[in-house]
């Protein structure tokens, strides 16, 4: 019998020396033996400070460098986890196969501390190096949508005029507000394959790293008073077709959410 290929979502590992990385592996629904590696999240910034960091980086010392990654739990059609930090802040997430080509994403944060949490920003990194069709060492394969102009790679997008409301291209608050759709699309090298990544209205910025091929749709949370909690939802979308066909599908998904 022929084996029907399908998306797989499993607990993964990136760098074994960093025991705090919360990584999932997600395979595309088409024939492939490779996975994207999803750092979920890579970093949690609160009021300009790094509260959680999955790896070690001397530029960004974290409040709790010895924390270990939480165990992934198997749930229906996916995996989930929850983490409690020493300061009482807890967070967690889940990744579920929503459709054959769509992984539904959920992240939540609860403020169990005594202080208000302000400017709660996360880095959510999809590492592309392990999946050869998406791992070009460039940002020219990563596209955002510009109103009245269509899809543009990052380098051309940042040359466009700033808009009043939308989504940034670049590093968090340093990014330029230019995109009118909350999704970044990475194009395959050889196939008519696309990878979309979104946090819908909670998307804040898009960024990529050419030398360390990855793509981010990085979300922002509301300020959270003590005891308050918030959940955000996103999607990782594997798509076969043109980027214009992807846009039609994505706009329909936005419409159906409202």
pLDDT (0 to 100) of residue 258: 67
Spatial distance between the Cα atoms of 116 and 130, rounded to a whole number of angstroms: 39
> With contact defined as beta carbons under 8 Å apart, do 105 and 233 qualify?
yes
pLDDT digits (tens, 9 = 90+) for 187-205: 999 899 999 999 999 999 9
Spatial distance between the Cα atoms of 78 and 64, rounded to a whole number of angstroms: 28
For the cut 90, the answer to whether the pLDDT of residue 121 exceeds it is yes
For the cut 90, the answer to whether the pLDDT of residue 58 exceeds it is no
For the cut 70, the answer to whether the pLDDT of residue 19 exceeds it is yes
Spatial distance between the Cα atoms of 58 and 40, rounded to a whole number of angstroms: 21
Closest CA to 38 of 145, 195, 173: 195
Which band of pLDDT confidence, cut at 50, 70 and 90, is reported for residue 56?
Answer: confident
pLDDT digits (tens, 9 = 90+) for 143-156: 999 999 999 999 99
pTM for the model stands at 0.96
The per-residue pLDDT of the chain, averaged, comes to: 95
SS3 per residue for 28-46: CCCCCCCCEEEEEEEEEEE
Q: Which two tokens stand for residue 37?
A: 């590696």
Strands (E), 111-255: 121-127, 142-146, 150-153, 167-169, 176-179, 183-187, 193-198, 203-209, 214-219, 229-240
- Annotate 51-77 with b (16+ C-beta within 10 A) or e (fewer): bbbbbeeeeeebbeeebebbebeeeee
């Amino acid at each position: 019998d022929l084996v029907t290929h399908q998306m797989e979502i499993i607990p993964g590992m990136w760098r074994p020396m960093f025991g705090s990385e919360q990584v999932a592996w997600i395979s595309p629904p088409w024939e492939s033996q490779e996975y994207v590696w999803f750092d979920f999240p890579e970093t949690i910034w609160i009021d300009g400070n790094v509260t959680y960091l999955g790896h070690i980086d001397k530029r960004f010392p974290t409040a709790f460098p010895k924390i270990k990654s939480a165990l992934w739990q198997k749930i229906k059609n996916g995996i989930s986890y929850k983490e409690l930090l020493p300061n009482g802040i807890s967070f967690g997430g889940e990744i579920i196969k929503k459709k054959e080509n769509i992984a539904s994403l959920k992240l939540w944060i609860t403020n169990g501390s005594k202080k208000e949490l302000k400017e709660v920003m996360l880095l959510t990194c999809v590492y592309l190096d392990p999946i050869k069709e998406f791992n070009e060492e460039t940002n020219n394969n990563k596209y955002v949508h510009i109103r009245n102009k269509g899809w543009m790679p990052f380098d051309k997008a940042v040359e466009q005029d700033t808009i009043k409301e939308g989504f940034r291209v670049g590093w968090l608050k340093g990014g330029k507000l230019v995109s009118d759709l909350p999704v970044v699309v990475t194009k395959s090298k050889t196939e008519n394959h696309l990878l979309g990544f979104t946090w819908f209205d909670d998307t804040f910025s898009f960024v990529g790293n050419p030398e360390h091929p990855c793509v981010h749709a990085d979300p922002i949370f509301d300020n959270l008073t003590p005891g308050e909690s918030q959940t955000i939802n996103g999607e990782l979308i594997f798509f076969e077709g043109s980027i214009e066909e992807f846009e039609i599908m994505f706009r329909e998904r936005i419409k159906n959410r409202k």
